[in-house]
Amino acid sequence: MSLTPISNIGEFSLIEKIAQEIKIYNNEKVIKGIGDDAAVIKPNIDMVEVITSDMLVENVHFDLSWMPLKHLGYKSVAVNLSDVVAMNATPEHITVTLAMSNRFTLEAIEELYKGMRLACDKFKIDIIGGDMVSSNQGLIISITATGSVEKENVVYRSGAKINDLICVSGDLGAAYAGLLILQREKRTFMANPYYQPDLMNYEYVIEKQIKPEPRLDIIKKLKELNIKPTAMIDISDGLSSELHHICKQSHTGCRIYEEHIPIDIMVSNIGDEFNIAPLTMALNGGEDYELLFTIPLDKYDLVKNDDDISVIGHMTDEDEGLYLINNIGEAIKLTAQGWDSFCHDKEQI
């Protein structure tokens, strides 16, 4: 199959071609989507809008030697929706801006958008605009996402109170475990181009790395249980870092317990392979995009038997600091060692 250089069709034809595949779900709010100088959205006076943006840069946030473009498109949408969900809001719209070098063909960009549309179709999100420009090197994806929530139900990082329970969704450390496997297989392939990567038995952690899911299901579940979190954040930079954000903005300390931190058995096995403690991967690995949130103590009975929510600790007075209580009862000070966007060339774990 012959591939089509972007230069053969130009920016406007590319945008027109992409727009033909875009479906609008929130018809009652989107007055004008792609095709004009700006999108036009009808506000809902009973709700507040939340807006977030995120940028993914080739060779900083993703490696195309092991990240399929379709998965990259899905992930680029998912990580933005996760920020909207972390405000207890329902995602509704995104705009997509791409900067790409001339090595990317029309077919490559269409594959990227297929992944974006998969995420939008799954969560009923509208792509309502954006921009496309040339780049001297590589691929840069910038997405802005919006969502809405009743004003009284917005959840910030700053609302946690002393004695609130600390909860996380899902399990932690899997995305970092997947990254370790992908990086190992790449190094082996670079040393021996005839080597066939062996990813059998690692499917779960690899999918967590290349196709994360925003936990919209969790905020829906909490609403059904009549639980409004007092503080919430998505786990993009590691559990330890996110706890620091909540405690700093809520002016609290915390105690979390090793025995209650959810870690999949595959993460433990991969930790053994790489001689890294699974707990370290869970605390500092990042990119899990699970939700970390606090709830009032009297809501414990509503979540204690939920397989997808783990109560891992409680908030304390600010003067008591941030500590992990390990399995032998030792108190270990929590330090924020997760991903730092301006230190990506340094050791992160």
Domain spans of the chain?
Answer: 6-153, 165-333
What class has domain 6-153?
alpha beta
| 163-192 burial: b if 16+ Cβ within 10 Å, else e | ebbbbbbbbbbbbbbbbbbbeebeeeeeee
Q: Rounded to two decimals, what is the model's pTM?
A: 0.88
Highest mean pLDDT among 10-14, 190-194, 289-293: 289-293
Q: Beta strands of 173-269 (E only): which ranges?
A: 231-234, 252-257
| Confidence check: pLDDT of 228 > 50 | yes
Going from the C-alpha of 30 to that of each of 26, 38, 123, 159, 169, the distances in angstroms are: 6, 12, 16, 32, 32
CATH class in words for 165-333? alpha beta
The per-residue pLDDT for range 88-133, each reduced to its tens digit, is 999 999 999 999 999 999 999 999 999 999 999 999 999 999 899 9
